[in-house]
Structure 1
C-alpha cells in the first residue's frame, strides 16, 4: 500500500546504519541522530470570523497557529531542497511533499489510534510498528483517541530537519522531519502535561458550554531511498506524539 503522498514515495528498509554523510541536519559524525531542537515557537489563539447568510450574521471561530521560523534553519533547508531537485528528483516540491505528508499523517495517526498495526505495513518501518504496538497497548482509551488527527483539525504543518546520506553499500537516502499541530476533542487530564494546559482552547459560542479542544503536536519522519532502480516511495521511520507516546 502506498502512502497517500506526493509524487514519488519509498518503502525504506526498517533499519540501516548510515556510515558516510553528505549533507545532514542534526546528525552527528558518528552517524547517529541527535534529538532535534525544538521547532519554531507556536502560538495558539482563538480568532472570531463573521459571515452573513441571507442577511443573518453567523459566528464562526477558527484557531490560528503562528510559527516563527529560525532564519538559519529556514535557509539551510532551502539549500537541501535545491540539492534534492538538482541531484535526486528534479520534480521535487516541498509544497507538494508537505501536503502529501499531512494526508499520510492523518491516515497513519488514525490507524495508530485504532491500533490497526497490520494496516501500517508498507507505510511505517517494521521495527517502528512493533515499538508503537507496545506503547499503544499501555495507553488509556482517551490517549488513544488523542492520537488521531482529522485532516480538518490539522492547524499547522512545517518541515523540520532534512538529511541526505548514504549507507555502507552506497545507497542514497533522504529524510525529512515534519512537525504537525492538531486539535483533539479527547478529554485529557489537566495535570498530565504542561502542553495540555497551555494549548487548551474553547471552540464555538452561544447557548451552552463551548466545546473544549486541545492543541497537540506530533513529529513524523519520512525517508526515501534514491538509489537507481528503487521504487520512489516514502516510509515513516519515526513517530512522536507530544506526551502521549513517551
Structure 2
C-alpha cells in the first residue's frame, strides 16, 4: 500500500492526497466561489466533561465526544467504500484514510492560521488558495488562531458523504468529506459564534483557574482523480471552518 508523504511532514494512507476545504452549518467556500449547503450531518455529537483522578491524586477533567451515526448515510458510505475497493483501489481502507485526513487537517489548518498560503500548493486546489488568502488575511488574530487544530485537540473525526463521479471527458473522481471536532483556547466573541459549545477544562490539582475552551467544527473534502495515468494524489478541494470563514 502506497503511503505518499504530505509535504514531507505526514504520511497519507492508501495512495491518498488532498484538495478541498469545507464545514458544517455555514456556507461552503469552494473553488467556484459559489455557496452550497452542507450535506446532512453524518453524526450527532454529544460532548461532556468528565472528572477523573490521576495516580498522583490530581483532579482532572477529560473531554468525551460521542458520535451517533446516521444509519442511512452509514449504510450508503459502506456501499461506496466497497465500490472504491472493487473498481478503483483494492487497497483502500477508510480507517487509514481517516487517520491520514486527520493529520492533513491539522497540518493545513495550521498553515491557514499562519497565513502560509504558498505552503498550501500541492495540498489545496490552486484556484482555492487565492480565495482562502483573501478570507484569512482579513481575519482578526484570535480568529486565525482558532483555525489551527492541534492533533491533541482533535476530539472526534468521522467520514461524511462519499461521491463517485465522471466528467464529460470520461475522467473518474472520488471525493470524501471528513468532519472534525476540535478544541481551541482562542478568545472568540460569543455573539458571533452561535451554535458552538463553550466549557471549562480543568487540568491539574484544581488550584488553577480552569481554562475555557470552545469546541469548533470543520469539514474538509478530499478528492482524487482515478483516471489511468494520473498521479494517485488526493487534494483538498473544499474547506469550511464553522463561523470563522463566513
TM bracket, shorter-chain basis: 0.7 to 0.9
Secondary structure of the structure 2 residue equivalent to 1:216: strand
**Equivalent residue for 1:191?**
191
Q: 1:51, 1:207 → 2: CA distance?
A: 15
**Higher RCO, Cα 8 Å, sep 6+:** 2
Matched, 1:8 2:6: no
**Equivalent residue for 1:76?**
76
Secondary structure of the structure 2 residue equivalent to 1:122: coil
Q: 1:96, 1:59 → 2: CA distance?
A: 35
Matched, 1:163 2:170: no
Q: Contact 1:114 / 1:144 at 8 angstroms: preserved in 2? A: yes
Distance 1:110 1:37, change over 3 A: same
Moved beyond 6 Å, runs of 4+: none
**Equivalent residue for 1:41?**
44
Q: 1:116, 1:152 → 2: CA distance?
A: 22
**C-alpha displacement at 1:208, in angstroms?**
2.8
Map 1:20-169 onto structure 2 (within 5 A): 35-52=38-55, 56-169=56-169
**Equivalent residue for 1:204?**
202
**Equivalent residue for 1:22?**
none
Aligned residues: 223
Q: Deviations over 1:8-50 (max 9, x none)?
A: 02477x9xxxxxxxxxxxxxxxxx9753123421111101232
The runs of 5 or more residues in structure 1 that have no matched partner are: 15-31
The runs of 5 or more residues in structure 2 that have no matched partner are: 21-34
Q: 2:176, 2:79 → 1: CA distance?
A: 13
Query: What is the TM-score with the length of structure 2 in the denominator?
Result: 0.86
**Equivalent residue for 2:228?**
228
Q: 2:118, 2:148 → 1: CA distance?
A: 17
Q: 1:44, 1:9 → 2: CA distance?
A: 31
Secondary structure of the structure 1 residue equivalent to 2:57: strand
Q: 2:142, 2:37 → 1: CA distance?
A: 31
Secondary structure of the structure 2 residue equivalent to 1:124: coil
Q: Contact 1:123 / 1:235 at 8 angstroms: preserved in 2? A: yes
Query: What is the TM-score with the length of structure 1 in the denominator?
Result: 0.86
Secondary structure of the structure 2 residue equivalent to 1:191: helix
Secondary structure of the structure 2 residue equivalent to 1:104: helix
Deviates more, 1:60-69 or 1:174-183: 60-69
Deviates more, 1:205-214 or 1:92-101: 205-214
Q: Deviations over 1:128-176 (max 9, x none)?
A: 1111111112210000000000000000000000000111111110000
Q: 1:42, 1:7 → 2: CA distance?
A: 28
Q: 2:164, 2:147 → 1: CA distance?
A: 29
Q: Contact 1:195 / 1:216 at 8 angstroms: preserved in 2? A: no
